[in-house]
């Protein structure tokens, strides 16, 4: 019965209607790994969005955000590549560990919260989706997004804190999804980050893709660095390790690069400076929303815990500024939209805001760094 959603006559609604119990997860995972997603019925995203909205009809409407046009030069001949970065909040952590004191437990119910997450993804229709804190990959995101045309990859943390929570759904980790109609996978690397030569609990996925329309190669990476104050040097070491891996994968920046992640680091931290000053010539896309193009947003996460209110900029989309242009970026929620109880809430499913950018290739592929 666990594998019934793989039947060619099955419909998507059974996936939304229930989440598998934790006892069934490993069995479900084995089943899904044996399935060829090409044999599953495709899903019309409009149908899935309608189903989500039916589930969410008693909740307040989704908060509206607008894209900011950042393109200054002539229009590209090719469709932009839309990249979405989001720490979606692991279900086990939201319910069992994170102590969002102003967020009612009712707002965190997975049966509804997963529909809020899917609604956000479906609203922005990313070509590439990079997620952190994914602990419902095998029973929700992989079966649904694969049927929406995405190729899916998941790399869990070796010692996920989700496993300490009773009735958990397995470990959380990073996940990457790209539309197969737009890109071809050239190579993929699952990276367990090291710090001071020690293997750590944090991971990254780096994939080199070929754009069907332009024939251009580029590398997309997703990561989630160590959290909490006092771990700044540790994050710095993890960042250095990731950069070294990405230098090797991109042949020293010959292949354009986009890095998405929850870095758990403010722009004042050393790991931020490492990425800013790297030989890979990276820039942070969301800086371009500031008047001078030099300042990060005032926040990408905003929550209230027992220790007090936490308002930080921790999430970034880095890109090769010599090879890629940022055409537009999705504006952040205002304080008024977020509301006095902060995040998560009945109309926003995570304590982190999603970041979305439209990229185009520089028209001169041989332009030097």
pLDDT-based confidence at residue 363 (cuts at 50, 70, 90) = confident
Output the pLDDT for position 107: 95
Q: Is the dihedral of CA 227, 140, 35, 213 positive or negative?
A: negative
> What pLDDT band is residue 8 in, cutting at 50, 70 and 90?
very low
What pLDDT sits at residue 26? 45
Angle, to 10 degrees, between the axis of helix 45-55 and the axis of helix 110-124?
140
Neighbours of 86 (CB within 10 A): 27
Residue spans of the domains in the chain: they are 79-361
User: Which residues are within 8 A (CB) of 273 and not within 5 positions of it... i.e. 6 or more apart?
Assistant: none
Rounded Cα gap, residues 342 and 350, in angstroms: 10
Residue 324 in tokens: 């890629």
Range 15-33 average pLDDT = 46
What Å distances lie between residue 209 and 152, 322, 354, CA to CA? 13, 18, 23
Give the separation between CA 344 and CA 351, rounded to whole angstroms. 5
Q: What percent of the chain has pLDDT over 90?
A: 82
Instruction: Give CA–CA dist 232/266, Å, rounded.
Output: 10
Residue positions counted in the chain:
369
Q: 179-211, pLDDT tens digit by residue? A: 999 999 999 999 999 998 999 999 999 999 999
Separation between Cα atoms, residue 273 and residue 277, nearest integer Å: 6
Residue with tokens 């230098």, as numbered in its chain: 247
What's the pLDDT tens digit per position in 55-95? 999 999 998 999 999 987 656 788 999 999 999 999 999 99
Q: What is the structure's pLDDT at 1?
A: 34
Task: Characterise 59 by phi-psi region: left (phi > 0), alpha (psi -120 to 50), beta (else).
Answer: beta
Kind and range of the H or E run holding 234: helix 232-249
Q: What is the pLDDT of residues 118-159, one digit of tens each?
A: 999 999 999 999 999 999 999 999 999 999 999 999 999 999
CATH of domain 79-361: 3.60.10.10
- pLDDT above 90 for 289: yes
């Amino acid at each position: 019965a666990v594998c019934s959603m793989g039947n060619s006559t099955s419909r998507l609604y059974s996936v939304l209607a229930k989440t598998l119990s934790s006892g069934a997860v490993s069995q479900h995972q084995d089943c899904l790994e044996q399935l060829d997603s090409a044999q599953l019925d495709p899903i019309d995203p409009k149908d899935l969005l309608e189903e989500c909205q039916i589930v969410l009809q008693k909740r307040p409407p989704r908060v509206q955000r607008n894209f900011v046009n950042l393109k200054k030069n002539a229009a590209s001949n090719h469709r932009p590549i839309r990249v979405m970065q989001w720490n979606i909040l692991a279900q086990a952590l939201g319910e069992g560990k994170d102590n969002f004191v102003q967020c009612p437990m009712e707002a965190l119910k997975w049966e509804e919260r997963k529909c809020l997450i899917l609604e956000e993804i479906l609203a922005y229709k990313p070509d590439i989706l990079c997620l952190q804190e994914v602990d419902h990959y095998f029973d929700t995101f992989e079966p649904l997004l694969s049927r929406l045309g995405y190729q899916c990859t998941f790399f869990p943390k070796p010692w996920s804190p989700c496993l300490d929570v009773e009735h958990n759904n397995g470990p959380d980790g990073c996940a990457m999804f790209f539309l197969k109609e737009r890109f071809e996978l050239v190579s993929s690397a699952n990276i367990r980050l090291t710090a001071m030569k020690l293997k750590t609990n944090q991971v990254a996925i780096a994939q080199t893709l070929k754009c069907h329309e332009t024939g251009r190669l580029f590398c997309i990476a997703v990561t989630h660095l160590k959290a909490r104050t006092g771990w700044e040097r540790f994050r710095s070491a993890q960042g250095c390790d990731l950069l070294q891996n990405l230098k090797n994968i991109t042949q020293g920046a010959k292949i354009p690069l986009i890095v998405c992640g929850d870095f758990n680091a403010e722009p004042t931290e050393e790991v931020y400076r490492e990425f800013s000053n790297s030989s890979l010539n990276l820039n942070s896309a969301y800086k371009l929303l500031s008047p001078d193009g030099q300042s990060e947003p005032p926040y990408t996460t905003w929550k209230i815990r027992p220790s007090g209110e936490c308002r930080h900029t921790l999430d970034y989309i880095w890109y090769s500024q010599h090879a890629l242009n940022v055409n537009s970026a999705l504006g952040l929620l205002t304080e008024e939209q977020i509301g006095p109880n902060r995040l998560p809430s009945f109309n926003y499913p995570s304590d982190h805001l999603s970041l979305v950018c439209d990229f185009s290739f520089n028209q001169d592929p041989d332009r030097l760094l």
